[in-house]
Structure 1
Amino acid sequence: MRYIIIGAGAVGGTVGGRLAQAGRDVVLVARGGHLTALRERGLRLRVPEGELTYRLPAVDGPGPLGELRAEDVLVLAVKTQDTVAALETWADAPVAGGGTAAERLPLVCLQNGVEGGRLALRRFRHVYGVCVWLPSTFVEPGAVSAAGSPLTGILHLGRVPHGTDDTARRIAADLADARFEAPVVPDVARWQYAKLLGNLANALEAVSGPVAGEAAQALYARVRAEGEAVLDAAGIAYASAAEQRAARGDKITLVPLDGAPRGGGSSWQSLARGTGTIEADHLNGEIVLLGRLHGIPTPLNELLQRLANRFARERRAAGSMPVEDLVRLANEAVAAAR
């Protein structure tokens, strides 16, 4: 199996680098300065055992690869807001022996939230979802870091919308050889929705900094309670906190890495890099959507979604709103919703 990592940023680059370390065939897909750096200097993966460099094929799309191989696995690791463009780029790529990527190849959605899998199913026949527990950082063009030890990450894997198969088990076996735990589960969405509840803090962190102090933690608890109420009203199952703790255990310990400080999660990193976009529409926005569909008010998640999008659009500094100001806005939003 050859793994084509579509979006070789923090998560995609880490998975691609670890798979290459395990002897798997890997192609990286990137753009701009990151693509240039990958071609010129290789992928530099900073991990607890040091900096590893992998000279891997790096492309900007399917064209340079010619016909894709029948044993290729497409790994979609772009942010959800970039999913549609990536799917359009790769769906019609020809596969040796006939047919297209959308018709024949497995597509693994290595993304936060649940929307990526739904979007993929509109174009691809064989879609797999992943619940991503992988602390990683885009350090600079050509370099990513992952501080987890002894495991680099835990990646629950299954078909979308549900089920398992031999392809999922083969991918999981390769990931297990690459320092990941990859349980193959028939209900991957249940794990993804549980992770979504945790990811509701991403916008909070992006706007006001680490969710560490009493005020920030109390606000996140309220945001998460909205999310749980919405999922319950929608009849959507999610893994319990106890299940998640049992799954993680002490398998991933973060090790400080020289030259690769971890400033924050994926949304915080989007603001820090000034990308101009953020994934809040598919995290807090997922709760807002379900709330509107099922008649559950979600003023706190609406607020975080709106603020995160504004910060990204206006390229404001990550964590620049004092948490006291955010709490005040949250209280006003809740009062207005009554």
Structure 2
Amino acid sequence: MRFVIMGSGGVGGYFGARLAEAGEDVTFIARGEHLAAMRERGLRVSSIKGDVALGKVKATDDPATLGEVDCVIVAVKAWQVREAAESIRPLVGPDTLVLPLENGVEAADILADVLGEAPVLEGLCGILAWREAPGHIRHAGVDPFIRFGERDNHSSARTARLKDVFDRVHGVSAEIPDDIRVAQWSKFLFICAMSGIGSITRAPIGVSRQLPETRALIQAMLEEIDQVARGHGVAFPADAVARAMQFIDAMPAESTSSMQRNIMAGEPSELESQNGAVVRLGRSVGVATPVHALVYAALLPQELAARGELPAAG
């Protein structure tokens, strides 16, 4: 299959590199120093599942030059999805799949709003990875997985074909869940709580999960997300919160979320698409989310400053 990776950081860089390693036709969309490094030296992945060194890769900053492809993997930050959707229009033909791998639960809705329902799948991934340097991805934790499916959960030949491709890729576990919304919200459950606690404490998960005070906050955030999900008709199992806490407890002690790393670096983050989304989605179904509201409010001034949108002090 012919793939385009829209967003070539930790997530896109890792999964794109694994696809290319397996012999798939992969083009990376990148910019700046990262693009220059890939054009000059290729792409390197340092991974707990085995390193990848691609001496030569296809990379560009202009999707319009590529023509229609089989699959676009959208791996930009959540707040960049609408802009990414507009830029990949030339890649999307009648048989193209568009697979979002963002942390939130709203990316597919945004993509479908721009591109139409037909090409868009629901998707998610699990990995602890980041761009360590231009042309270099570091995968430090979590056995990488990818889960996807049709938005209405029906079985299809196109998703089966995509899974067949990923099944031949080293270092990636692929699954088509029975209920993609449950899978998506299950991932959102733990990553949003982990992002929130890490961003307000500035501590790795190994610290915040063991202190009784911060562990109680994690528990409260998980319970709020659980209630919001159920309010939106997500068929969570009864032990969803317990499973999420087990996953958090199994994370490497030094783990941090990408949102936390962005916030600590003074960069724009996924605050609006994670803790902010819990507040907004909770309000829409009458579910109170006081802990997420506090986290969101506490981080909002820094988020606005990082975006150059902080109002002048009065």
TM-score clears 0.5: yes
Instruction: Say which is worse superposed, 26-35 or 264-273, in terms of deviation.
Output: 264-273
Q: Where does structure 2 lack aligned partners over 5 or more consecutive residues?
A: 308-314
Q: Determine the C-alpha separation between the residues in 2 that align with 1:148 and 1:90.
A: 30
Do 1:6 and 1:78's aligned partners in 2 also have CA atoms closer than 8 Å? Answer: yes
- Residue 269 of structure 1, CA deviation: 2.5
- 1:47 aligns to 2:47 (yes or no): yes
State how far apart, in whole Å, the 2-side matches of 1:172 and 1:77 are: 18
Conservation of the 8 A alpha-carbon contact between 2:230 and 2:236: no
* Separation (CA, whole Å) in 2 of partners of 1:131 and 1:244: 20
Among 87, 106, 110, the alignment partner of 2:97 is: 106
Q: Which amino acid aligns with 2:8?
A: A
1:134 to 119, 127, 133: 127
Residues 236/51 of structure 1: CA separation in 2 closer, same or farther (3 Å cut): closer
Matched position secondary structure for 1:200: helix
Which residue, out of 157, 164, 167, partners 1:176? 167
1:200 to 2:192 alignment: yes
* TM-score for the superposition, normalised by structure 2: 0.84
The structure-2 alpha-carbon separation of the partners of 1:297 and 1:242, relative to structure 1 and needing over 3 Å to count, comes to: closer
1:163 is aligned, of 133, 154, 157, to: 154
In the alignment, structure 1 segments of 5+ residues that lack a partner are 95-100, 257-261, 317-338
Quote the Cα distance in structure 2 between the aligned partners of 1:157 and 1:120: 15
> Is the alpha carbon distance of 1:224 and 1:44 closer, same or farther for their aligned partners in structure 2, counting shifts above 3 Å?
same
1:293: which partner in 2?
A: 284
Partner deviation per Cα, 1:181-205 (whole Å, 9 max, x = no partner): 1111242111111111112221221
Aligned to 2:73: 75
Query: How big is each residue's C-alpha offset from its partner over 1:204-231, in whole Å with a ceiling of 9 and x where there is no partner?
Result: 2123122332222111111111222222
RMSD between superposed Cα atoms in Å: 2.8
Contact 2:5–2:12 (CA under 8 A) maintained in structure 1? yes
| % identical equivalent positions | 28
Give the AA of the match of 1:222: A
Alignment partner of 1:187 is 2:182: no
Could you tell me how far apart the structure 2 residues matched to 1:207 and 1:298 are? 17
Give the TM-score taking structure 1 as reference length.
0.78
Aligned counterpart in structure 2 of residue 269 of structure 1, from 261, 268, 271? 261
What's the secondary structure of 1:58's corresponding residue?
strand
Aligned length: 294
**Correspondence list, 1:1-338, <5 A:** 1-48=1-48, 51-54=51-54, 55-65=56-66, 67-69=67-69, 72-91=70-89, 93=90, 101=92, 103-124=94-115, 125-148=118-141, 152-178=143-169, 179-201=171-193, 202-208=195-201, 209-210=203-204, 211-212=208-209, 213-238=211-236, 241=239, 264-274=256-266, 276-315=267-306
